[in-house]
Amino acid sequence: MAAREKKIVLKEISRPAKEDANAIAEMICKAFDFSDKDDIVPLLFRKIAESSVKGEGVTSRELSQKLRLPRSTVLYKLNYFIDTGIVVRSGRYYFLRGDSLETTLEQIQAEMEMEFSRLLKFASKFDELLQSEVYGRKRKQQ
């Protein structure tokens, strides 16, 4: 079975007006394009991060109760986090990928750098093939 593909969208955003945990959680969610109009996502993200820092996971049921949201909504939002690799699931529990947000982002950065390195190799081959086709056709026509 093929590995689940991850989709990472990063937006360039401005620094938060104040540097408290809520503002930074909101900034991270906006940077990863998780935020929505009702501001549930930063709260959800913070609850997962808080549990992860304690070395504990959190269940979707616990998140649903803490945030007073339907469990289906929580599960839908959790899938955003999982699809980017920022959150992982182990059994019923959800955790940050690393033991802290900093470690999590470092791991994602390393993966992105490896993927860009792989893409650069294909880009080089693409350019080589394209130049061969373009210049090869012109030479034949002359």
Q: Is pLDDT of 3 > 80?
A: no
Going along the chain from its start, the domains and CATH numbers come out as 21-141 (1.10.10.10)
What would the pLDDT profile of 31-75 be if each residue is shown by its tens digit? 888 876 667 899 999 999 999 999 999 999 999 999 999 999 999
pLDDT value of residue 139: 45
DSSP 12: -
pLDDT of residue 140: 45
62: Cα within 13 Å, side-chain hemisphere: 12
SS3 96: strand
